[in-house]
Amino acid sequence: MKRKITLKQIARELDVSISTVSKALKDSKEISKDTRQKIQAFAKLYNYRPNNIALSLKNRKTKTIGVIIPEIVHHFFAKVISGIEQVANARGYNVIIGLSNESFDKEVINIETLVNGSIDGFIMSVAKETLQQQDYHHLIETINQGIPIVMFDRVVNDILCDKIIVDDTEGAKAAVNRLIESGCKRILLLTTKDYVNVGKLRTLGYIEALHEHKIEADPQLIIKAKDTHSSDKEIDSLEREIEKTFEKNNDIDGVFAVNELYAVTAMKVARKKGIKIPEDLQVVSFSDGVLSKHSFPSLTTVDQHGTEIGETAANLLIDKLDEIEDEESFTTKIIKTSLIERDSTK
Amino acid sequence: MKRKITLKQIARELDVSISTVSKALKDSKEISKDTRQKIQAFAKLYNYRPNNIALSLKNRKTKTIGVIIPEIVHHFFAKVISGIEQVANARGYNVIIGLSNESFDKEVINIETLVNGSIDGFIMSVAKETLQQQDYHHLIETINQGIPIVMFDRVVNDILCDKIIVDDTEGAKAAVNRLIESGCKRILLLTTKDYVNVGKLRTLGYIEALHEHKIEADPQLIIKAKDTHSSDKEIDSLEREIEKTFEKNNDIDGVFAVNELYAVTAMKVARKKGIKIPEDLQVVSFSDGVLSKHSFPSLTTVDQHGTEIGETAANLLIDKLDEIEDEESFTTKIIKTSLIERDSTK
DNA sequence: TTGTAGGCGTTATCAA
DNA sequence: TTGATAACGCCTACAA
């Protein structure tokens, strides 16, 4: 077991000074060709690589970015990470991940432990609990310390930083329009509680689409799932609610769900009740998932382009870190969604 | 924008030496109660936190572990990461992730950039390409440098290190047994090429189960998908192969798939052909996914317990790093699978 | 052309 | 009780 070799060791072995070695390895012309070659050959032989930690300490840059997300067992977030990682790696950065599990405390702890030198900047999607409590001191403090944050998806409007958002409202509107255009008149909305920004925005899109087509929104047709984690229990309870709503409103001919799990749950209810999709009921959902593609029938969905979001976020952050971008200007980028037509619509 | 405060600055402000500050913040009795309190109060006020990078350099420990996996947009790997992250955080470690995208080169690069001081140890699942080429020099070198590796799922037997494996063969056997017990006689196997270890082992389990029940394995009923990434195209081609096989063998009454995507693909073919599940055809798959739970019919699957694998791997690695475990002994832990019964079996 | 010295932030040892 | 010094590994301005 041989430890990694250091400049010091090379210097000792070759009987030169540390700085000579350092310069020689940078191919500096200060050093004679002879010694340069000798040192380079030796370094190569022993597979010398500069120690990242020492570099970080010296340069006050770690070349790593911290990614804080609510959960990772989730197709959308996994895609975003994948996009971040790709860009980060290509631009010489590493990626540390921290999971908040939607908990405020875990989010704070994660950020605090990384802030102390481990990372140069953050990319994050805010935990539901944080949004609910509206306590953003940890975010404000890191920004005040000169550590840039790029928020995506779950964004806090009050905080001044770069943001990548999905055009949730537009996407939802397009989805609902799609339903209306193929004949739906009574469209059930499956959404989240309002404090989840994206749920709220998608709800807004639903309302707007109806409005544009002079259809009045019926409160009876809006179900706000009381979920926090999409756990089995919560989905079961949603299922019962959907069932009840179908029973009370047997004229429902469309469903718009803010995520694919809700959509699949609706389809399950429909199947139980013998409602044919897409003949009697059409379904569209927001999503970025495998479920949509492989459910039966496959789901028409609003694609959020998770990978692209991740890539954009990483580029934005690294531009700032590498000082390609001005430190004091903040942009909000909107990633356009697109509708993927599958078999749950006519 | 106030930069993080350092010991030096505190020392200057309070007109004491750096080492006094350092000791006082550790509540060392060497320092008088008075100065201790003064310094602690000041540090608290300015929210002092030791710089991780400096600590890493000093201690030659980074308190972070590198996780190298083939992909992250994959339920199983996401679960494993989730398990790793949980344990790591609880034990004071951070997690850096690197994605190989199943590519040998990316795996090598990822490991090499992290080896230079950024991490204390690795948890990894080997890329398919690496397994195919059987070139493990990067792994051997890191181990030789005293950096421990814990492998999971896709494991290299020839390399001496800790390993966490799923009892693939047993799990597959249990799955196939389940099919046989509920009456299946002609069971189609959907698997991968042999160089993917887990595919091979699961295939073995299939063979063993048949053998135990004195059913002869029919090569016609074994489809080895020529996939590397489960891309759409590859799945389409698998679909056609399954279709052909069904046409040639109309007595198939069971399917065992080594992953849920293959299983869902088989169910799709069955649906097209009007084959009823589970009445005419029963399906079981290996998996750790959302698909199984929400497909129609929901799939009976072999649960791999991804989170537990991640937790076990992290504990094993950290035990070694924190020297709770002997550095020179290597264990291979087997995580038992369990069968989750759903609607695709009788 | 090569080497010395100081510093990045911290801790530990030893001296005052 | 406090402080100076060296060290972790690297880089660089400056001196020789």
Q: Name the CATH superfamily for B168-303.
A: Response regulator (3.40.50.2300)
Looking at residue A317, its pLDDT comes to 97
Q: Which of residues 3-32 of B touch A (CB under 8 A)?
A: 3-4
* Residues forming beta bridges with residue A28, ordered by sequence position: none
Closest-CA distance, B105 to chain A, in angstroms, reads 13
Token pair of A18 as six digits:
């540390």
Whole-number distance in Å between A147 CA and D15 C1' = 38
Contact flag, residue B57 CB and nucleic strand D, below 7 A: yes
Report yes or no: A58 at the B interface, CB cutoff 8 Å: no
CA distance A200 to chain B (A): 25
- The DSSP string of B85-135 is HHHHHHTT-EEEEEE-TT-HHHHHHHHHHHHTTT-SEEEE---HHHHHHT-
State how far the Cα of A46 lies from the Cα of A23, in Å rounded to an integer.
17
Distance B48 CA to D10 C1' (A): 25
pLDDT digits (tens, 9 = 90+) for B82-119: 999 999 999 999 999 999 999 999 999 999 999 999 99
Using the Cβ of B96 and the Cβ atoms of chain A, whether some distance falls under 8 Å is answered with yes
Among all protein residues, pick the one whose CA is nearest to the C1' atom of C7: A58
A45 touches chain B (CB under 8 A): no
Q: A197 pLDDT band (50/70/90 cuts)?
A: confident
Burial of A251 (0-12, 13-18, 19+ CB in 10 A): exposed
Establish if A56 touches chain B: CB-CB under 8 angstroms.
yes
Looking at residue A231, its pLDDT comes to: 79
Q: What is the overall mean pLDDT for chain A? A: 94
Provide DSSP, A125-179.
---HHHHHHT--HHHHHHHHTT--EEEESS--TTS-SEEEEE-HHHHHHHHHHHH
Q: Which residues pair with A163 in a beta bridge?
A: A151, A332
Is the CB atom of residue A23 positioned under 7 angstroms from any atom of strand C? yes
A168-303 shares the fold of A61-166+306-337: yes
Q: Average pLDDT in the B45-64 region?
A: 96
**CB of B19 under 7 A from strand D?**
yes
Name the closest nucleotide to B28, judged by C1' and CA: D1
**Of all helices (H) and strands (E), which one includes residue A36?**
helix A33-45
What does the alpha-carbon distance between residue A268 and residue A286 come to, in Å, rounded to a whole number?
17
Tokens read off for A336:
């356009």
Residue A227 has pLDDT above 70, yes or no: no
For residues B48-77, average pLDDT = 96
Q: Do A57 and B52 touch (CB under 8 A)?
A: no
CA of B330 to C1' of D5 (A): 42
Task: Check if the beta carbon of residue A154 is closer than 8 Å to that of residue A70.
Answer: yes
| Nucleotide nearest B30 (Cα, C1') | D1
d(CA A133, CA B188): 53
Per-residue pLDDT tens over the stretch A113-142: 999 999 999 999 999 999 999 999 999 999
Q: How far apart are CA A195 and CA A133, in angstroms?
A: 10
pLDDT tens-place string over residues B64-83: 999 999 999 999 999 999 99
Distance CA B346, CA B334 (A): 29
B171 at the A interface (CB within 8 A)? no
Mean pLDDT of chain B: 94
Closest listed residue to residue B313, CA positions, set B334, B327, B328, B288: B334
Domain ranges of chain A: 7-48, 61-166+306-337, 168-303
User: Which residues contact residue A193 at a Cβ distance below 8 angstroms, ignoring those fewer than 6 apart?
Assistant: A199, A224, A225, A226
Average of pLDDT values for A170-198? 94
Of residues B164 and A195, more confidence is placed in B164
Q: Give the model's confidence band at B227: pLDDT under 50 very low, under 70 low, under 90 confident, else very high.
A: low
Closest residue to A73, CB basis, from B62, B79, B89 = B79
Q: Closest Cα of chain B to A212: distance in Å?
A: 34
Look at A94 and B89 and tell me if their CB atoms are within 8 Å: no
Q: Which of B344, B342, B338, B343 is nearest to B302 (CA)?
A: B338
Q: How confident is the model at residue A229 (pLDDT cuts 50, 70, 90)?
A: low
Share above pLDDT 70 across residues of chain B, in percent, rounded to a whole number: 99
Give A-chain residues touching B113 at CB under 8 angstroms: 52, 94
CATH fit for domain A61-166+306-337, picks 3.40.47.40, 3.40.47.10, 3.40.449.10, 3.40.50.2300: 3.40.50.2300
**Distance D15 C1' – A20 CA (angstroms):** 14
Please indicate if any CB of chain A lies within 8 Å of the CB of B236. Answer: no
Q: How far is the CA of B318 from the C1' of C6 (A)?
A: 37
Q: pLDDT tens-digit profile of A144-177?
A: 999 999 999 999 999 999 999 999 999 999 999 9
Cis check: omega of the bond before B148, within 30 degrees of 0: no
Question: Would you tell me which residues 191-230 of chain A have a C-beta closer than 8 angstroms to some C-beta of chain B?
Answer: none
The whole-angstrom distance between residue B112's C-alpha and the CA centroid of its chain comes to 20
Q: What's the pLDDT score for residue A233?
A: 86
Residue among B53, B74, B99 minimizing CB distance to A117: B53
Using a CB-CB cut-off of 8 Å, the residues of chain B touching A116 are: 4, 49-52
A154 near A197, Cβ under 8 Å?
A: yes
The closest CB to that of A56, out of B47, B53, B97, belongs to: B53
Cβ–Cβ contact A339 with B under 8 A = no
pLDDT recorded at residue B228: 58
* Closest C-alpha among A122, A198, A83 to residue B73: A83
CA gap B52, B159 in Å, rounded: 33
Q: How long is the CA A177 to C1' C16 vector, in angstroms?
A: 82
Determine, for residues A72 and B73 on separate chains, whether the beta-carbon distance falls below 8 Å.
no
On whether any CB of chain B is under 8 Å from the CB of A52, the answer is yes
A280 Cβ partners below 8 Å, 6+ apart? Answer: A253, A270
Angstrom distance (rounded) from CA A181 to CA A217: 16
pLDDT of residue A228: 58
pLDDT, one tens digit per residue, over B185-214 is 999 999 998 888 889 999 999 999 999 999
A18-65 pLDDT per residue, tens: 999 999 999 999 999 999 999 999 999 999 999 999 999 999 999 999
Query: What is the chain A residue with the closest CA to B120?
Result: A53
Asked whether the beta carbons of residue B78 and residue A82 sit closer than 8 angstroms, the reply is no
Q: How far apart are CA A7 and CA A20, in angstroms?
A: 9
Q: State the DSSP H helix or E strand holding residue A316, giving kind and residue range, or none if neither.
A: helix A306-321
For an interface test with A, the pick among B73, B109, B110 (most A C-beta atoms closer than 10 Å) comes out as B73
Nucleotide nearest to B57 (CA to C1'): D8
**Distance, Å, B100 CA → C2 C1':** 43
Q: How confident is the model at residue B229 (pLDDT cuts 50, 70, 90)?
A: low
pLDDT in tens, B276-306: 999 999 999 998 789 999 999 999 999 999 9
Strand C–CB B32 distance below 7 A = no
CB contact under 8 A, B81 and A72: yes
Q: Is the pLDDT of residue B172 over 70?
A: yes
* Extended strands (E) in B174-326: 187-192, 222-225, 254-257, 282-287, 300-303
